[in-house]
Amino acid sequence: MTAEQVARAAREASNMLQTITSAQKSAVLRRIKQVLAERREQIVEANREDKEAAKKEVEAGNLSSSLFNRLDISGKGGEKYSTLLQGVDDVDRIADPIGQVTLARKLDQELDLYRVVCPVGVCLVIFEARPEVVVNIACLAIKSGNAAILKGGKEATRTNKALAEAIQYAIATTEAQEGQTKFPEKAVQVVSTRDEISGLLDMDRYVDLVIPRGSKSLVQYIQNNTRIPVLGHADGICSTYLDESADVKKAVHTVVDAKTSYPAACNSTETLLVHKSVVDTVFVEVARALLKAGVRLHADDRCLQAIDGAGIIKGEGEALASLVSKATDDDFGHEYTDMDLAIRVVDTMDEAIDHINALGSKHTDAIITEDRKRAEWFMRRVDAAGVYWNASTRFADGFRYGFGTEIGVSTNKTHARGPAGLEGLTIYKYYLFGNGQATGDYGVGNGKRGYMHKDVPLDGDVRNKFVI
């Protein structure tokens, strides 16, 4: 199929999805989980083959280690695959948002206005590695009544193909009840070539939203080569700030997690800012824990002096000493996606905030402090999709937010921001129910009427008025 044929088929599927019921969506999701569970060994084997091929590319210098780390679909003891299956259930349990009323207003007698949640339409999702994205996006698209076109990276070709075949088989083998529209098989499509992507980025007639998930270069390429709205983020430059009243135990626990639990993730902390009053106390304990975990510290002069003064490296040998280096300007505002951390001392909290707003990526930033007022000041002033108090930046995730799964993380200031789950694939339309009224009936003067503009409470009956 050509790019235009794929896009047109997705648009046709999107139109059909408008009349698919919540019960049908749930039946398809349950079937997808069943087929994914039945084909687990086959999919894991495909993933093993992808990883073997990718490892050779890493050794040849053609693939980054961070991208390779994102390729695994099984996880330790199969935990990641089990989480993937659980994510399907989690999406199924979320209340169907389509048809829900978010505003009801009586403009006049027999002139009623409703703002109603509806699907975006056709979503093109382009991603690198992370083959679980195939399942995540497919399930969210199904739940929200959208058609999805998916393009994964060549490093996960076998895994993506196995997952896509499982999902498409599940859709095709879900029976419709009498009187129901058959669930469209083209609701989820997977394309495999780069040429198809170039063509699809021109299909603004059919495609409503592009969601890139991957490297900065991938996101920027898409942003610069399409007229279609793009939801996503180019960088994940997250910062954690140790304030003057930071608790040492909380600081160590949150910062080590934020840096080491998954360094390749976009919500991993890349910069640590330290208030000058805690450099020789809280910071040295954090530094000690980070070095013990194998993190490479790119520190400014004051931090280096604190590390040296605390004797952290003395007696530990060259291996530990090699993990500490003097930071350069390029270290700040840099996304490592690895076991590296840029560290800088600041004289005031406002200096930390200015640093974050200037060099951060508006993704997620955290403050560690025991002072609530200072925490709230930080959270108001930092311009980011997520601002945290005494918590790891790694919480910036749709699954952890209870969204079931996520379509990605958006730093846009549009309809979706931060970890975007189901709501990121929805928009709204206005329903107006009248009885022959015209705008000329309203105004000032003889025979004219004024508007009532009376809001109607969104009780259960009103909120779910158009849910099918």
Question: For the residues of 169-233, what is the DSSP string, one character each?
Answer: HHHHT-PPPTTSPPPPGGGEEEE--HHHHHHHTT-TTT--EEEEES-HHHHHHHHHS-SS-B-S-
Going by C-beta distance under 8 Å and a sequence separation of 6 or more, which residues neighbour residue 83? Answer: 75, 399
Using an 8 Å Cβ cutoff, are 383 and 357 in contact?
yes
Of 306, 258, 269, nearest to 285 (Cα)?
306
Interatomic CA distance for residues 363 and 107, integer angstroms: 40
Q: What is the pLDDT of residue 61?
A: 87
Phi, psi dihedrals of residue 156, rounded to the nearest 5°: -120, 25
Using an 8 Å Cβ cutoff, are 465 and 101 in contact?
yes
Interatomic CA distance for residues 362 and 369, integer angstroms: 21
Other Cβ atoms within 10 Å of 77 Cβ, number: 8
Interatomic CA distance for residues 29 and 377, integer angstroms: 43
Interatomic CA distance for residues 185 and 178, integer angstroms: 18
Strand 101-108 to strand 454-455: parallel, antiparallel, or no bridges (unpaired)? antiparallel
Interatomic CA distance for residues 308 and 397, integer angstroms: 36
| Angle at CA of residue 411, ends 409 and 412, nearest 5° | 115
Q: What is the pLDDT of residue 404?
A: 64
What pTM did the predictor assign? 0.79
Phi, psi dihedrals of residue 5, rounded to the nearest 5°: -65, -40
Q: What is the pLDDT of residue 463?
A: 93
Of 453, 438, 437, nearest to 107 (Cα)?
453
Q: For residue 249, which amino acid is it?
A: K
Q: What is the pLDDT of residue 408?
A: 77
Which stretches of the chain score pLDDT less than 70? 315-318, 404
The pair of structure tokens assigned to 336 is: 């490592």
Q: How far is CA 1 from CA 11, 84, 193, 281, in A?
A: 15, 30, 11, 63
Of 129, 119, 122, nearest to 149 (Cα)?
122
| Angle at CA of residue 41, ends 40 and 45, nearest 5° | 115
Handedness of CA 170, 173, 174, 179 (dihedral sign): positive
Q: How many residues does the chain have?
A: 468
> CA end-to-end span of the chain, whole Å?
33
Torsion of CA 451, 452, 453, 457, to 10 degrees: -160
Buried (b) or exposed (e) across 186-215, using 16+ Cβ within 10 A? bbbbbbeeeebbebbbebeebbbbbbbbbb
Interatomic CA distance for residues 45 and 22, integer angstroms: 34
The pair of structure tokens assigned to 454 is: 């009376």
User: Any bridge partners for residue 251, and if so which?
Assistant: none
Buried (b) or exposed (e) across 261-276, using 16+ Cβ within 10 A? ebbbbbbbbbbbbbbe
* pLDDT tens, residue by residue, 94-146: 889 999 999 999 999 999 999 999 999 999 999 887 898 899 889 999 999 99
Instruction: Fill in the DSSP letter of residue 70.
Output: T
Q: What is the pLDDT of residue 69?
A: 81
Interatomic CA distance for residues 362 and 235, integer angstroms: 9
